[in-house]
Structure 1
Amino acid sequence: MMKIRRGFRAVAVLAAAGALSLGLSGCTTYDTTSPSAARKASADDGKAGPARFGTVDCRKAKCVALTFDAGPSENSPRLLDILKDKKVPATFFLLGKNHIADHPDLVKRMAREGHELASHTWDHKILTDIDDAQIRDEFRRTDDAVEKLTGKRPTLMRPPQGRTDDHVGELAKEEGLAQILWDVTTKDYTTTDSALIQKRAVEQTKRDSIILLHDIYKGTVPAVPGIIDALKQKGYVFVTVPQLLAPGKAEPGKVYKP
């Protein structure tokens, strides 16, 4: 594990969801576990489950995970078509208000087509700024909605703006949720230039990367085919976040980050 101390500055717009390193007076402290450490810990404790998910063993393959925040949106059908055509699974961190609530059929389609569905909370409130009851509500409303639509309750959560701390982790553990951060951000909330989004993703990606994208922004979905093709040419294999951690399993309350 690695101890992290980061400061954050409050940002009022959803677009800042990728700004993990923004400054703020005061700091938060939390531990993170890398995908490789999760895989090793599972093997070391002698309780490892099946070594493979499907045909991919990320202990041997150059795995990466595509993740999309804050959907579904009107752009999601095209994205799902692309992922299906490219035979690439993704992890969707879904937002409740105005997204899950407005696009239930897309949530069902994501699940049906083999993608991992996770939570990005209900109303995108900054979890470190609200009280315990509100945090629990942000978790439960989203998880309840996804479970009602798909029959499966999320086990993964991404905190808005990546802002979390040990106390948020404790509450996430109570709800059976592990927190998933990222190491690759295209800052697609700052540009509609799909070529630039593709360039940023490809240049930053390494083995075990978790790539942060948003299917709510105009330039993002058109960049996805190029990202997939370029990374496949480099020998990368696309997996969901649970597949990336296998044979380890995301533990509730923990924070995972490459």
Structure 2
Amino acid sequence: MPHGNRPPRRSRGAVVLTAALTLALALGGCANDRVTPKDARADAPLDARGGFGSVDCRQARCIALTFDAGPGKDTPRLLDTLKEKTVPATFFLLGMNHIMKYPTVVKRIADEGHEVANHTWTHPVLTDLSEDEIRDELEGPQGELEQITGRRPTLMRPPQGRTDDKVTAVAKELGLSQVLWSVTAKDYETDDPELIERRVLDQAARDGIILLHDIYKGTVPAVPGIIDKLKARGYTFVTVPQLLAPAEPEPGTIYKP
């Protein structure tokens, strides 16, 4: 018999599922907020020249190479490799002990045509912070990078990929899109370049975004093999904005393949 207006008792499985979804949303924002590169391109008008930018990723097998938490002592060597192989990359740069320590490397990154982006000042989990603290973490690199390169970044990557409504609101306010990834070598776990290369190659797919860190010992030596083998598979390397073109990255929006 029904008991008045009491809602039906949920099964234990439903309770567990609800809890899991709640946790997932708390850790990563709302799943519906994610926009894939393909969807971004599909919804965008052509650029001013009636095209899709320097590379048409509707036709080309595009993939974006990105580096977090630098620059570091090995970044100039990485830039030499990228220049030799004519590969553009996107660098999500960290403020404390990195941007401030290597300003000439930051300028070189920008001068050589790579995308300069924001990875916070001290690398905290942003979802643990207040909006004011999030703002401080993002505004610091914005100002320093503008001073060094002459341009304020339009992209950011939240440490550990952790984002939520607070982070999104502040990112939108500061004109920053959020960029996650689809390929990770977990290069913070190993100094083995061959393992890093294999992990990337195993996960690589069209419209992918590769996450690496140019501050770890094994990463920079792995990059030449990653580039050569992915080019042999028919991939074209692009920056994150090129991957989204002709769409302009929308502030606050979370992009993830």
| 1:204 paired residue number | 203
Q: TM-score, normalised by structure 2?
A: 0.88
Tell me the secondary structure at the aligned position of residue 87 of structure 1: coil
Structure (1 or 2) with the greater helix fraction: 2
Structure 1 residue 99: deviation in Å? 0.1
Give the distance between the partners of 1:58 and 1:135, measured in 2 at CA: 33
The 1:6–1:157 alpha-carbon spacing in structure 2 relative to 1, beyond 3 Å, is farther
The 1:77–1:64 alpha-carbon spacing in structure 2 relative to 1, beyond 3 Å, is same
Letter in 1 for 2:245: A
Structure 1 residue 27: deviation in Å? 4.8
Letter in 1 for 2:183: V
What CA RMSD, in Å, does the superposition of the two structures yield over aligned residues?
Answer: 1.7
Structure 1 residue 226: deviation in Å? 0.1
Give the distance between the partners of 1:78 and 1:52, measured in 2 at CA: 31
Figure out how many residues of one structure are paired with residues of the other and give that number.
235
The 1:142–1:236 alpha-carbon spacing in structure 2 relative to 1, beyond 3 Å, is same
| 1:153 paired residue number | 152
Letter in 2 for 1:141: G
Q: Is the contact between residue 38 and residue 245 of structure 1 (CA under 8 Å) also seen in structure 2?
A: yes
1:35 and 2:34 aligned: no
Give the distance between the partners of 2:99 and 2:69, measured in 1 at CA: 9
The 1:5–1:232 alpha-carbon spacing in structure 2 relative to 1, beyond 3 Å, is farther
Give the distance between the partners of 2:58 and 2:215, measured in 1 at CA: 33
The 1:216–1:7 alpha-carbon spacing in structure 2 relative to 1, beyond 3 Å, is farther
Letter in 1 for 2:138: F
Structure 1 residue 53: deviation in Å? 2.8
Give the distance between the partners of 1:170 and 1:147, measured in 2 at CA: 21
Alignment of 1:229-244 (within 5 A): 229-244=228-243
Letter in 2 for 1:64: I
| 1:109 paired residue number | 108
Deviations 1:114-147 (A, max 9, x none): 0000000011111100111111111110010000
Give the distance between the partners of 2:188 and 2:176, measured in 1 at CA: 26
Tell me the secondary structure at the aligned position of residue 102 of structure 1: coil
Letter in 2 for 1:39: R
Q: Is the contact between residue 91 and residue 116 of structure 1 (CA under 8 Å) also seen in structure 2?
A: yes
Give the distance between the partners of 2:182 and 2:23, measured in 1 at CA: 17
| 1:18 paired residue number | none
Give the distance between the partners of 2:28 and 2:210, measured in 1 at CA: 23
Deviations 1:32-80 (A, max 9, x none): 000000000104xxx65442333x1111100000000000000101000
The 1:192–1:27 alpha-carbon spacing in structure 2 relative to 1, beyond 3 Å, is closer
Q: Is the contact between residue 6 and residue 28 of structure 1 (CA under 8 Å) also seen in structure 2?
A: no
Q: TM-score, normalised by structure 1?
A: 0.88
1:144 and 2:143 aligned: yes
The 1:94–1:195 alpha-carbon spacing in structure 2 relative to 1, beyond 3 Å, is same
Alignment of 1:1-258 (within 5 A): 7=23, 27-30=27-30, 31-43=33-45, 48-50=47-49, 51-54=51-54, 56-258=55-257
Structure 1 residue 167: deviation in Å? 2.0
Deviations 1:4-37 (A, max 9, x none): 95847xxxxxxxxxxxxxxx9x654321000000
Give the distance between the partners of 1:52 and 1:42, measured in 2 at CA: 10
The 1:49–1:204 alpha-carbon spacing in structure 2 relative to 1, beyond 3 Å, is farther
Give the distance between the partners of 1:28 and 1:204, measured in 2 at CA: 21
Deviations 1:203-246 (A, max 9, x none): 10000000000000000000000000000000000000000000
Which structure 1 segments of 5+ residues have no match?
Answer: 9-23
Give the distance between the partners of 2:96 and 2:207, measured in 1 at CA: 31
